[in-house]
Structure formats: C-alpha cells, structure tokens
C-alpha cells in the first residue's frame, strides 16, 4: 500500500436543506489516479470544492497531503493544483507568458518563473509552441497548457474537474497522456468525469457517487467483474441461422441466452470463456455454418456504471 494523500470520512454538506453529500468517504494514494463518477448533481464537484478548500462542509473530516482541510487550509493549498472545467489561460499571451504569469502569481521570482515555465512546456510537449499566442491553439493544447499552469508548484495532489469536456478525440488523448505522465511521476490525481472510457483508461480506482453517497469504490476491472461473467457472442451472417446459433450458444452457456434479432446476434454468459469459444467454433464447423463474427465480450464500464445507478434508483 502507498501513502494516503487524500482522505475524506463521513463528509456531509447541505444546501438549503438539500443534502449534496451524505456520509461520503474517499481515499486516494500517492501516484494514483482516482476517478469520481456519477450523474449530474451526484456530488462530484461539491467533493472537489471541499477537498480544495473552496467550500466548507457540515459534518465529517477531510485531509489532503496530510493536512486537515478545515484547520490547515493554507497548508493544503500549498500542496494542490486545480484545473476546472474551463481553461484559465489568456488567449492574448503566448504559452510561455501564461506560465510565467502564473509563476509570478505563485510568488516565484522572475528567474524561477521563467525556468519553471520552460520545464513545464517541455514536460507537456509544448516547447515548440512556447512563443505562440494561445488563441491559435487547439483545444487539446490549451488544456495541456492549463494542466501545466496547475503544476507550477509541482503539487502533491492535482484535482481535475471534467478536464476533457468539449475536446475532440485527439485533444482527449493528449490530455490522457499528460495525466498518465503526472501520475507516473508521483502526483496523485483526483479526476471527475462523465466519460467512462476515460475513467477506464486513466483510473487506478473509481468511486461511484450518487445522491451524495458512495455506491462503490473499486478498480475499473473489479467494477466490471461485478457485472458477472464474460459473454460468448455470435453474430449471424444470415439471420435465418439465428435459431441454430441460439442452440449452439445455449449448449455452452452458464446463464440465460440473449437473442438480438436487430443485430442478428446471440450471446450468453460463460464461466470458462476459452472452452466455450472452442466448443462453439467446433459446432459451427460441424454444421458448416458461416457467421459474421464470433468472440468473447467482457462487460464494459458503461454497463457496470449504469447498472449500479439503476439499482440505486429502484
């Protein structure tokens, strides 16, 4: 186990009688990425605002980088970075000028601010664009510059509130690469996101929150395992073969078989995926059936998340 750098216990926060957080717990260890997932209004941003000292709380306890958020707010601020949903860079300044400005705001000397700007431009792959105005930057470049600005003081913990909202796929990948690099260098990253593929790629652990309460805290793989076994799926080349394909799948299945006539597919959970796939392929060969596709499919993080939310709302 590593060093715990973010910890919240039984956090409660109410706004005009409505509970935004209701006994919420959270932990994150050094050099890991923790994802906060949940629907709109679940309490994700409230949690980030509390942990970054921007918002008080009513009950519970929170500590970041070893300091109590309520009692030692100044010490917490010295050790964190925060990137919100909107970039904070100035479009009229160059990339380097932006970072030097942030350095001076953090009370670095002019010389040190310049040195730190150059270090961060190299770290985030922006050295070639150092002297360009940021108004000509792509969304991904602006977001990487925004991340660099939040790292001026090399924080122990970086909070990212939906950092890739509105970015195109290339821009999202650029940000993902930057976040992975930060975690590899030892920074703890707390990430809120609506993109489940993003959480699946980046996060070491995921905390699912709804109505201000914990639903689950697990690894992405563990969260998907809660959905059950892998599934064998066969897609028919000829829809008229579906009844026979269903019989083949039923013979190797360990649960209810699902028939999707619209997709011309048959699927079912299997406890021994390799054996089931081999047996199904042999049966297809014996019957001289040609199919469009056959394979094993694991539950996606989207499916696990939606099932958890659905159970909570029942």
| pLDDT digit string, tens, across residues 90-102 | 999 999 999 999 9
Q: Are residues 240 and 220 in the same domain?
A: no
Q: For residue 208, tell me if it sits in a domain.
A: yes
Q: Are residues 76 and 160 in the same domain?
A: yes
pLDDT at 1: 46
- Find tokens 């935004």 and name the residue: 20
- Domain boundary residue among 224, 257, 276? 224
Q: The dihedral of CA 174, 175, 180, 185: what is its sign?
A: positive
| pLDDT digit string, tens, across residues 170-180 | 888 888 988 89
Q: Are residues 80 and 158 in the same domain?
A: yes
- Domain boundary residue among 205, 224, 243? 224
Structure token digits, residue 197: 């593929």
Q: For residue 258, tell me if it sits in a domain.
A: yes
Q: Are residues 156 and 139 in the same domain?
A: yes
Q: State the distance between the two ends of the chain, measured CA to CA, in whole angstroms.
A: 36
Q: Are residues 42 and 60 in the same domain?
A: yes
Q: Are residues 194 and 262 in the same domain?
A: no
Containing domain of residue 269, as a range? 229-298
Q: For residue 193, tell me if it sits in a domain.
A: yes
Q: Are residues 55 and 181 in the same domain?
A: yes
Q: Are residues 30 and 160 in the same domain?
A: yes
Cβ contacts of residue 134 below 8 Å, gap of 6+? 89, 90, 91, 93, 94, 95, 98, 141, 142, 145
Q: How far apart are CA 263 and CA 287, in angstroms?
A: 22
Q: Where are the beta strands (DSSP E) in the chain?
A: 4-15, 18-29, 33-37, 59-64, 67-68, 80-83, 157-161, 188-192, 205-210, 213-218, 230-236, 258-260, 265-270, 291-297
Task: Report the residue count for the chain.
Answer: 314
Number of domains in the chain: 2
pLDDT at 228: 64
- Domain boundary residue among 224, 256, 283? 224
pLDDT at 83: 87
Q: Are residues 291 and 190 in the same domain?
A: no
* Positions in the chain whose pLDDT score sits under 50: 1
Q: Are residues 143 and 85 in the same domain?
A: yes
Q: For residue 104, tell me if it sits in a domain.
A: no
Q: Are residues 55 and 202 in the same domain?
A: yes
Q: For residue 25, tell me if it sits in a domain.
A: yes
β-pairing verdict for 205-210 and 33-37: parallel
| Nearest in space to 1 (alpha carbons), one of 26, 28, 24 | 28
Give the global pTM. Answer: 0.76
Rounded percentage of the chain residues whose pLDDT exceeds 90: 61
Cβ contacts of residue 288 below 8 Å, gap of 6+? none
Q: Are residues 78 and 11 in the same domain?
A: yes
| Nearest in space to 144 (alpha carbons), one of 110, 111, 167, 113 | 167
* CATH code, 273: 3.30.70
């Amino acid at each position: 186990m590593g060093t715990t750098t973010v910890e919240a216990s039984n956090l409660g926060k109410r706004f005009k009688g409505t509970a935004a957080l209701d006994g919420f717990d959270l932990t994150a260890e050094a050099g890991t990425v923790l994802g906060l997932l949940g629907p709109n209004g679940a309490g994700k941003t409230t949690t980030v605002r509390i942990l970054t000292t921007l918002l008080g709380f009513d009950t519970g306890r929170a500590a970041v980088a070893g300091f109590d958020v309520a009692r030692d707010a100044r010490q917490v601020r010295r050790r964190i970075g925060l990137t919100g949903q909107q970039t904070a860079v100035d479009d009229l300044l160059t990339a380097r000028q932006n970072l030097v400005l942030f350095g001076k705001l953090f009370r670095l000397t002019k010389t040190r601010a310049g040195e730190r700007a150059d270090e961060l431009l190299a770290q985030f792959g922006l050295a070639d664009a150092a002297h360009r105005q940021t108004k000509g930057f792509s969304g991904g470049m602006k977001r990487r510059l925004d991340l660099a600005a939040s790292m001026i003081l090399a924080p122990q913990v970086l909070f990212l509130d939906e950092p890739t909202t509105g970015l195109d796929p290339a821009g999202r990948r650029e940000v993902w690469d930057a976040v992975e690099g930060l975690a590899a260098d030892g920074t703890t990253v707390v990430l809120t996101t609506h993109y489940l593929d993003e959480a699946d790629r980046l996060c070491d652990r995921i905390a699912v929150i709804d109505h201000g309460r914990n639903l689950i805290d697990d690894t992405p793989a563990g969260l998907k395992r809660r959905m059950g076994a892998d599934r064998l799926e066969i897609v028919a080349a000829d829809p008229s073969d579906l009844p026979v394909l269903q019989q083949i799948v039923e013979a190797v299945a360990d649960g209810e078989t699902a028939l999707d006539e619209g997709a011309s597919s048959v699927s079912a959970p299997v406890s021994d995926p390799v054996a089931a796939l081999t047996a199904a392929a042999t049966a297809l060969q014996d019957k001289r059936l040609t199919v469009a596709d056959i394979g094993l499919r694991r539950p996606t993080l989207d499916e696990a998340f939606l099932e958890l939310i659905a159970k909570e709302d029942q």
